Amino acid sequence: MAKVIFCQRFVYSYFGIMSISALLKREGHQAGLVMEADIKKAVLKIIHADPEVVMFSTLTATGDFEWSLEVAKGLKQKNKNILVVFGNLHPTLFPEETMRQEAVDVICRGEGEFPMLELCNRLERGVSYFDIPGLWVKSPEGIVRNPLGALIEDLDVLPFPDRDLYQQYGYFDNLDSIDVIAGRGCIFSCSYCMNPALKEIFRDKGRFVRKFSPSYIISELEEVNNKFKPRSFTFVDELFTVNKGWLREFSEMYKARINLPFVCNITADTIDEESISWLAKAGVSRVCMGVETGNEGVRNKLLNKHLSNAQIEEAAARLHEHNIKFLTSNIIGLPGETVKGAFETIEFNQKIKTDFVYFSVFQPYPKLPLTKKMQEEGVLEPIQPADFNTTFFKDSVLKQRNINQLVNLHKFFFLVFRFPWIKPIVKLLIHLPPNRFFEQIFILSYGWLALSCFRRHPLQLLAMGRGNTKIFYGDKGVAGSA
């Protein structure tokens, strides 16, 4: 039996960690969690638990990778025999950089359930683990770069996520809605999302887009409902409406056996009258869909969305007809964007009568198709993960002339959307230098969104957001990654 501790900085339930933990426990291993932002405290808690393996789910932005490294260094100083494993997006996309770190022994690229299980099985038997697919390992002869393992074709072979791992912190006690994931992957290749990079990495490794069966998901929801008594569920899949046959079967089963309000992500071009009707009958309370920009040309040519304003307007009208509230995601500060174009995004949301608006500042993270395009065109210098000292909540690393105005407009996005009469005032204010007062305006706006839409305390949502790869890369991350 191997003893594993997962360590994370943010107050958020990672599906990759819960899935790996569930599989390890099912196969007879021990798994625990240290969720602690203070580096010294995290190190002491892990040492006290005395594990053989410590696994970090490492992201690229907001210093998460650097924080994980500091904890790993502290662990090695106290016990050099602890095996440190880094997984999730950062080592998947930047394996060489990750393996250069002295405190990192192993990285897991891609889905982590079966590579981590095999690692623990071999540790239990006391045999070599240098040749496990999906893992890069430091050996006495150097770094062993094993090829990626196959994607898990049948997700139903996995046990239900180990939510008890987080419940030791009382994580689910005060949540109005509990997150669920019904599948992995996305059919689209938006230029501001990391999915195109992941699709290239996993080429010939199996189907990228997969779903748990409706019966699997319904059984999982019944278990969660019995344990935690939530008022609703939130499906965090990048795209919930990817398969109409699956959607119809799920909706019928959900209404009959669960019958709680739920939230899911859609796109305007994957939802029709029939699909919306199924969701409405099943009890959907809110859907989320991407607008990104009100400029159709920018959305399609720059962002590779292939989605017209007319399609979004039609989807919005259908949602209103079925009394389904919807949230739109929007981006400010796109490369080459004008202030007029940014205001068009706000005005388009007003036109379709969006119930809730989600708004972010564009960040050109490495490996994204849009970032590569900007670099090829010479409008962006080569950029590394360490170059980011901001998030989409605050600032931009772009150097275009009007970027401060766009960043300022981001802070007033909600107010202009909700109170159009202040638009002339905001047009003047955004010419001022970015300042803390504007940031406070944003915090209050986001707080309203947290309370009215997400039904969560603003501080908790901000903490969750900083650890959510959907914010950084437009996706929930590599599902199943450590």
Q: Where are the domains of the chain?
A: 3-145, 176-455
pLDDT in tens, 395-415: 888 889 999 999 999 999 999
Strands 30-35 and 3-8, how do they pair? parallel
Which pLDDT band holds residue 62 (cuts at 50, 70, 90)? low
Strands 135-139 and 106-108, how do they pair? antiparallel
Answer whether residue 29 shows pLDDT above 60: yes
CATH top-level class for 3-145? Answer: alpha beta
Residue range 27-41: mean pLDDT, rounded? 97
401 token code pair: 């002339």
Which of these, 300, 248, 295, 246, lies nearest to 269 by C-alpha position?
Answer: 300
pLDDT in tens, 111-150: 999 999 999 999 999 999 999 999 999 999 999 999 999 9
Which of 9-23, 54-68, 305-319, 433-447 bottoms out in mean pLDDT, i.e. has the lowest? 54-68
pLDDT in tens, 238-249: 999 999 999 999
What CA–CA distance (Å, rounded) separates 466 from 12?
9
What CA–CA distance (Å, rounded) separates 481 from 462?
22
What CA–CA distance (Å, rounded) separates 423 from 317?
25
Q: Do residues 75 and 25 lie in contact, with contact meaning Cβ atoms separated by under 8 Å?
A: no
Which of these, 114, 46, 110, lies nearest to 83 by C-alpha position?
Answer: 46
What CA–CA distance (Å, rounded) separates 13 from 228?
14
Place of tokens 């790996």: 20
Which pLDDT band holds residue 222 (cuts at 50, 70, 90)? very high
What CA–CA distance (Å, rounded) separates 427 from 416?
10
Which of these, 48, 51, 54, lies nearest to 3 by C-alpha position?
Answer: 51
What CA–CA distance (Å, rounded) separates 109 from 87?
6
CATH top-level class for 176-455? Answer: alpha beta
DSSP single-letter state for residue 150: P
Write out the DSSP string of 245-267. Answer: HHHHHHHHHHHHHT---EEEEE-
What CA–CA distance (Å, rounded) separates 271 from 69?
43
Which of these, 234, 119, 212, 110, lies nearest to 159 by C-alpha position?
Answer: 212
DSSP single-letter state for residue 363: -
* pLDDT for res 470: 33
Q: Bridge-partner residues for 85, per DSSP? A: 55, 106
pTM of the predicted model as reported, rounded to 2 decimal places: 0.91
Higher-pLDDT residue of 401 and 480 is 401
Q: Which helix (H) or strand (E) holds 34?
A: strand 30-35
Q: Do residues 368 and 191 lie in contact, with contact meaning Cβ atoms separated by under 8 Å?
A: yes
Residue range 266-270: mean pLDDT, rounded? 96
What CA–CA distance (Å, rounded) separates 428 from 422?
10
What CA–CA distance (Å, rounded) separates 18 from 8?
12
At position 237, the amino acid (one-letter code) is D
What CA–CA distance (Å, rounded) separates 356 from 25?
40
* pLDDT for res 70: 97
3-state SS class at 419:
coil
* pLDDT for res 125: 97
Residues in the chain: 482
Burial 442-460 (b: 16+ CB within 10 A, else e): beebbeebbeebbebebeb
Q: Do residues 360 and 392 lie in contact, with contact meaning Cβ atoms separated by under 8 Å?
A: yes
**Burial grade of 339 (CB within 10 A; 0-12, 13-18, 19 or more):** middle
CB atoms under 10 Å from CB of 168, counted, come to 10
Percent of the chain with pLDDT over 90: 82
Strands 262-266 and 232-235, how do they pair? parallel
Answer whether residue 385 shows pLDDT above 90: no
At position 327, the amino acid (one-letter code) is L
Which pLDDT band holds residue 265 (cuts at 50, 70, 90)? very high
